Amino acid sequence: MAKHERLISLDAFRGFTIAGMMLVNNPGSWGIIYPQLKHAAWNGWTFTDFIFPFFLWIVGVAMTFSFAYRKERGDSDSKLMLQVFRRAVIIFLLGLLLSSFPFGLFGTTFSFATLRIPGVLQRIAICYFIASLIYLKTSFRGQIRVIALLLGGYWLAVRMIPVPGYATGGLDPMGNLVWFIDSVLLKGHTWGGAPALGGDPEGLFSTIPAIATTLFGTLTGQYLRNSNHSKEEKTIWMFVFGSALLFFGAWFDMYLPINKNMWTSSYSIFMAGWAMTIFSIFYFLIDVKGYKKWSTPLVIYGMNAIFVFVLSGVLGRIMGLIKFNVMLSDGTLANVGLKTLIVQNLINPFFSPLMASLVFAILWDLMLFLFAWGMWKKKWFLKV
């Protein structure tokens, strides 16, 4: 691989991941969704549970290429860390702004006392920052040891540290150590839709194994940059190691269940295995065999992933603010949101309610793609 050759397969995999995230985040109705487009209620996994760990894994892979390029042009570690800190702060603040929008305007309510502090972008920012520190200060083997320490320590803590008023080592939605820490330290600032009041799927303690997920990506990125192996060899070994992680994660499930909400150690390992295995297929098709045309839409999506995520959140909230007075069949007047109006009048007449919800999500994905395509055509890429 040339020194500054862009890894097209990584852009495509990022695009696949963000497109999947938009698909599951924007159903026509939250009450009618195909099971695979919902998170697992607690233990176990669905297609939806693949998305966030894939994104963190991609962050880890990408940083190895980005840092290598900056070091080659002469940037010092201190300069790199200043840039990492700046980027992490911006991503974290974007997450808070998205949680706050529309800031109490247009008849909505807003209070700093109840503002959700954790979130997807916030966790990405923290994992990116800490994983960058670890990557810059440790060797390849050192990172393996850090992963083992993070995942092993997290497992032991969850199983052995007592929670006041509950059984030690409990793994129910309410009463586990992860829930307890969030409910105490983030009281009033967690997600209202969490499986147990006071918990948060992007909370404090569960960020520890999420950092390990990111570090699995840095290990993969370093291997991809190794010039001692051919691209064919890299494909095979990524598939082999990914499959091994899948097996180990599934085995670990017997001792600590695979659980996205708690981001258990088994979940971190299992999803890193899936990420590496699926990415190896992208890598083989695009960077080894040269079949690139099919991946162009995914690359377009992947080149502006954070922009697409933020835009989707803002537009979704705006649609919730636009309401119309509509006469119902029983003669009553109802105040209906724009999204509901679109689904009921333009999609529901042609599909079952379940399929209509999916069709809206697909159309939403396509709309966001048009924005990403327009930026790609003009070579506008959001850099934070």
Q: Helices (DSSP H) in 41-139: which residue ranges?
A: 48-72, 77-100, 120-137
Residue 326: per-residue pLDDT: 77
Residue 293 is given by DSSP the state: G
Give me the average pLDDT of each 10-residue run along the chain (384 residues): 70 96 93 93 96 97 94 89 95 94 81 91 97 96 98 97 93 96 95 93 97 98 92 96 97 96 98 98 96 94 92 91 74 78 90 94 96 92 79
Helix (H, G, I), strand (E, B) or coil at 324: strand
Q: What are 327's strand-pairing partners?
A: 333
Strands (E), 149-292: none
pTM of the model: 0.94
Phi, psi angle pair for 337, to nearest 5°: -70, 160
Residue 55: per-residue pLDDT: 97
**Angle at which helices 120-137 and 207-225 cross, to 10°:** 50
Q: Is the bond into 27 cis (omega within 30 degrees of 0)?
A: no
CB proximity list for 255: less than 8 A, separation 6 or greater: 155, 266
Residue 330: per-residue pLDDT: 59
Residue 304 is given by DSSP the state: T
Residue 1: per-residue pLDDT: 42
Residue 70, both tokens: 């900056």
123 burial type by CB count under 10 A (0-12 exposed, 13-18 middle, 19+ buried): buried
